[in-house]
Chain A
Amino acid sequence: MIQERIGYFPPSLGVRLRTSGITKAVRSFSLGVVSLICSIALLAAFWALVSALSKNGLPGPLATAHVFWELVREPFYNNGPNDKGIGLQLILSLQRVFTGFALGSLVAIPLGVLLGSSPMARRILDPIVQIMRPVSPLAWFPIGLAVFKAAGSATIFMIFITSLWPTVINTAFGVASIPETCKNVAMVFRFSRWRYLTRVLLPYSLPHIFTGLRLSMGVAWLVIVAGEMLSGGTGIGFFVWDSWNALSLERVMSAVLIIGLVGLLLDRGFAYVAQRLSYEEAA
């Protein structure tokens, strides 16, 4: 037996590093809080300035905060089709986004794997992807309406199309960049197709796939607001449009804030999962 001689780490040193790590964490946390307060203050100041310049055409932060509180205090009330709480609208929007996004991912990941692993598939499918990708998601809405004959399904279809491209492209990139050594290992040790897929291809590409999913989710969330403005009925996008028609700009501003915060949470959630899934790169 050979004993490993390198990589020995004195335990005392480890402990000291850990305590200094905690102090460091506390310091970076308090720094984070301070800078967050600063950026909120900056945003509020700028907002107040624009509001004053528009002679209160745009409601200021204080007026908005009041309406915001009203909205958030009772988020789930339901007084019929044209009067729902903001929480309900948000849930309806999220449902559409996740349905479209999930369907899109189910198509996009296998498609990306195919594009990344077969040069022939890439030659045939790449032009299609390149042509469809730059099309504004909103342009798909009438097509969805024509096919599904329902605004709700058309909205989901729009989200579906939107969430395809970033995932397809990132997955294909990840799969195409699998190192030659990994492929050779699979060949030398006679990995079956399934073993190659689950033990080499997917683990290697997973960080890339998640980058794609995260971008897809970001775009889907951008698009849902516009989509619901077109489709009407329910959802946070409809809420914005409805509030504008009711000339309640405080409600519009509140909704904008909520849309931003939810988008941020979605993005951070994906970033967190992606980080958990990424492996340590071997030197």
Chain B
Amino acid sequence: MTSYLDLRDINKTFDIDGSTYVALGRVNLHIRRGEFITIIGHSGCGKSTLLNLIAGLIKPTSGSITLEEQPVSEPGPDRGMVFQHHGLLPWLSIYDNVYQAVAAVFPGRSKAEKAEDVQRVIRMVGLWEHRNKKPGQISDGMKQRTAVARAFAIHPKVLLLDEPFGALDALIKPTLHDALVELWGSDGQSETVFMVTHDIDEAIYLSDRIVVMTNGPQATIGEIVDVALPRPRDKRGILHMPEYIDLKDHLLYLLSTSQWSASQIDKAS
């Protein structure tokens, strides 16, 4: 019996200038449907590699990835993606960035249906008045919101987020978290979300489970931590909950000790 999104014995090596670099070793992860799962770890620990594997942008050296028991071998619209630096096409307006994705994924739909869907997601991220602007004319936060809207617009089974808010300042992050949570719950059925981050607070606020990676080379899953905080979560409210404080403590401990020698941390930073 496989789980909804299933990663089995994933190994990934890269050939760099003739020498082999083992990025990921024996990664096993079983994700339930509708789960919000976050991968956290130091830079260079293979978080993004894992995400690109699920996206199908790269192939594992060995091991298998299945989504609803179908093997993942190439990119597809069942896995929507929000890229690290928004990945919007700068020559298209906000509206067209979303519309092109929808039109590419659902070529059979009528124009009106496509337009309706595009309007719905752009309104949900609060950018309808800005729909005719180009990415170069809006703030970083708005760009990332557009990217989130685009990923949701194609109704993916799994939403992949590659450090989506990493480049944003701390003041604007909470509004984006809320936009994400709102969209996540808006579809009737919750999407399964797989997010890469290095922000512990963000991980706790959003996730059902947090996967802590060990450092590379040959990075693997160090520990999987359950986030038992009730939903809907109140960003400021949870800060003072004992569970939150314990969780954060534990994550900080995991990220700072045992598995990581000082030299490895030097290399990573």
Contact = CB atoms under 8 A, between A and B. Distances in A.
Q: Which of A181, A188, A191 has the most CB of B within 10 A?
A: A188
B78 to A, nearest CB: 10
Contacts of B175: 2, 5
A192 B145 CA distance: 25
Contact of B89 (A3, A182, A187): A182
Interface in A222-240: none
A131 interface: no
Contacts of B81: 184, 188
B76 A2 contact: no
Given A2-B178, A195-B100, A281-B90, A187 B134 contact: no
A204 B89 CA distance: 9
A277 to B, nearest CB: 9
Interface stretch (B135-143, B191-199, B210-218): B135-143
B105 interface: yes
Contact of B142 (A4, A190, A199): A4
B92 interface: yes
Nearest to A279: B91
A152 B80 CA distance: 57
Interface in A203-256: 203-204
B181 to A, nearest CB: 11
Contact of B87 (A181, A199, A283): A181
Contacts of A191: 100, 104
Contacts of B79: 188
A190 B134 contact: no
A6 interface: yes
Interface string A241-283: 0000000000000000000000000000000000000011111
Contacts of B105: 189-190
Contacts of B138: 7
Interface residues of A, number: 27
B63 interface: no
A63 B57 CA distance: 71
A184 B136 contact: no
| Interface of B (DSSP majority class) | mixed
Contacts of A189: 77, 100-101, 104-105, 150, 154
Interface residues of B, number: 48
Interface in A121-172: none
A184 B104 contact: no
B100 A6 contact: no
A200 interface: yes
A1 interface: yes
Contact of B75 (A3, A181, A187, A192): A187
B90 A190 contact: no
Given A283-B136, A283-B140, A188 B75 contact: yes
A174 to B, nearest CB: 13
B209 interface: no
B179 interface: yes
Contacts of A2: 125-126, 145, 175, 178-179
Given A2-B175, A6-B141, A192-B104, A281 B136 contact: yes
A185 interface: yes
A199 B135 CA distance: 15
Interface of B: 55, 57, 74-77, 79-81, 83, 85-92, 100-101, 103-105, 107, 123-127, 130, 134-143, 145, 150, 154, 171-172, 175, 178-179
Ranked 10 nearest A-B pairs via Cβ? A280-B136, A203-B91, A279-B91, A282-B90, A189-B101, A187-B75, A282-B135, A2-B126, A2-B175, A1-B126
Given A4-B142, A182-B89, A188-B81, 11 more contacts: A1-B123, A1-B124, A2-B145, A5-B175, A185-B89, A189-B100, A195-B100, A199-B100, A204-B91, A279-B91, A282-B134
